[in-house]
Amino acid sequence: MADVGESGGFEIRRLRSEDLDAVVAIEADAFTSPWDRETFAGLLERDSVELLVMDAAEEGIVGYAVLWCILDQGELANIALLPTWRGRGLGSHMLRHVMSVASERGVEKLFLEVRMSNHAALELYRSFGFSEVGVRRGYYQDPKEDASVMVATLDRTSEG
């Protein structure tokens, strides 16, 4: 499934094996304990996982998301953009698409964890209807930090 971004020139599509190096590079930049190439490659074969990339017409892969879908529950495991593409509304576009895919897969409750200090992400998630339902103490390493556990109830009748 593809979707062209509001700003034009962007396609959100399923990750392909030739996208792995770009996604691993984004992952390494965005997270202090990044997943490796083998982890992403192993997820390509799993039916319960949606691996999505944001492909810019000229620049190539500028972002990605990993969504787990198990029955009526989902987890947004990772979502990230290249630093030069942050702050342009693309994260909102990607999140909207992820939520739509989750809804299409029958997900009713979508969970995620986010660093307590990541105020920009917390604000983004709240603007999409996520609310805090718990805290995972010491969830993140390097630096050690708590995670806010958030959930959104998806409307399976809307397009997101």
Q: What CA–CA distance (Å, rounded) separates 108 from 71?
A: 9
pLDDT at 157 over 60: no
The pLDDT assigned to 57 comes to 82
Catalytic residue status for 113: yes
Q: Looking at 27, 50, 75, 125, which residue is catalytic?
A: 125
Give all domains of the chain, ordered by start, each with its CATH number. 3-153 (3.40.630.30)
Catalytic residue status for 139: no
pLDDT tens-digit profile of 39-60? 999 999 899 999 999 999 888 9
Q: How confident is the model at residue 6 (pLDDT cuts 50, 70, 90)?
A: very low
Q: Looking at 113, 132, 139, 145, which residue is catalytic?
A: 113
Q: What CA–CA distance (Å, rounded) separates 44 from 30?
A: 21
pLDDT at 75 over 60: yes
Q: How confident is the model at residue 10 (pLDDT cuts 50, 70, 90)?
A: confident
